[in-house]
Amino acid sequence: MTDLVRTTVTDGVYQIEMNRPEKKNALTAEMYSAMADGLIEAESNPAVRVILIHGSAGNFTAGNDLNDFLRNPPASENSPVFRFINGFATLQKPFVAAVEGIAIGVGTTMLLHCDLVYAGTGARFCMPFASLGLTPEAGSSLLLAQRVGHVRAAEMLMFGEQYDADFGLASGLVNAVIPDGQVIEHALARCHKLAAQPAASIRLTKELMVRNQRPLVREIMARESQIFGQQLSSPEAKEAFSAFLEKRRPDFSKFA
């Protein structure tokens, strides 16, 4: 594991911590690879009953580090980002998230695959794919609409605006809103309580809840990945990324 991703196992709970605080835990290819390996390790370790993911220093994740992302764009299903996304979409063990601060891009879409999500009062959720000339990923084009309804999902995905913790609670994105600074502790306590439950019963309960939808989710994710890859080289995406790096507003007026 890289120091940018810390993993620990305590009393049946496997913790994955995104640890790049100076960049608000923005994700690099190296971090995606480490987290994908962590999910495999957690699934295969019989001592692990629950997986908890969280960020460091008061933020969940700022999403992709765009400089790193542009240097290492996902070129296939074996790319680190897709290995991670496909990994959490097929977990058999409970997957829990503790969200403080910002949860941008994949920081929000991965929550749609979590069984339990706890957020701090200052949590902010955002999926700015369309604003970057890209398209939804991680099954969010299906799962978000199922969770919050079509019109809310359309607003969230098409405008790419930020939403607060109260919206997350009201729309069913999170289980509970906890005071900032107490979220990880609260989530860990819930994970330990869950780990004390009969392990087979918990896994089978999750399987029954998701088994009918998982083939469709995998199909949607594959299609999303294909379109996402195509959009990476689109004129709109190039303009969006250039504007971001040049610290200016993008101009999409010349694109149909």
Q: How far apart are CA 42 and CA 8, in angstroms?
A: 10
Using 50, 70 and 90 to split pLDDT, how confident is the model at 73?
A: confident
Whether 154 maps to a domain, the answer reads: yes
> Which pTM value belongs to this model?
0.95
Q: For residue 64, which of 252, 246, 244 has the smallest C-alpha distance?
A: 244
Whether 189 maps to a domain, the answer reads: no
Measured CA angle at 106 (ends 105, 107), to 5 deg: 85
Beta bridge partners of 118: 98, 176
Whether 247 maps to a domain, the answer reads: yes
Whether 85 maps to a domain, the answer reads: yes
Q: How far apart are CA 256 and CA 253, in angstroms?
A: 8
Q: What does the pLDDT read at residue 244?
A: 87
Using 50, 70 and 90 to split pLDDT, how confident is the model at 2?
A: confident
pLDDT, tens digit, 9 for 90 and up, residues 201-256: 999 999 999 999 999 999 999 999 999 999 999 999 999 999 988 999 999 998 87
Whether 185 maps to a domain, the answer reads: no
Total domain count for the chain?
1
Whether 204 maps to a domain, the answer reads: yes
Check which CATH number belongs to the domain holding 243 and give it.
3.90.226.10
| Interval 179-194 mean pLDDT | 98
Using 50, 70 and 90 to split pLDDT, how confident is the model at 18?
A: very high
Whether 135 maps to a domain, the answer reads: yes
Using 50, 70 and 90 to split pLDDT, how confident is the model at 10?
A: very high
Using 50, 70 and 90 to split pLDDT, how confident is the model at 1?
A: low
Both structure tokens of 95: 């997957």
Whether 188 maps to a domain, the answer reads: no
User: Which domain does 104 fall in, by range?
Assistant: 1-180+198-256
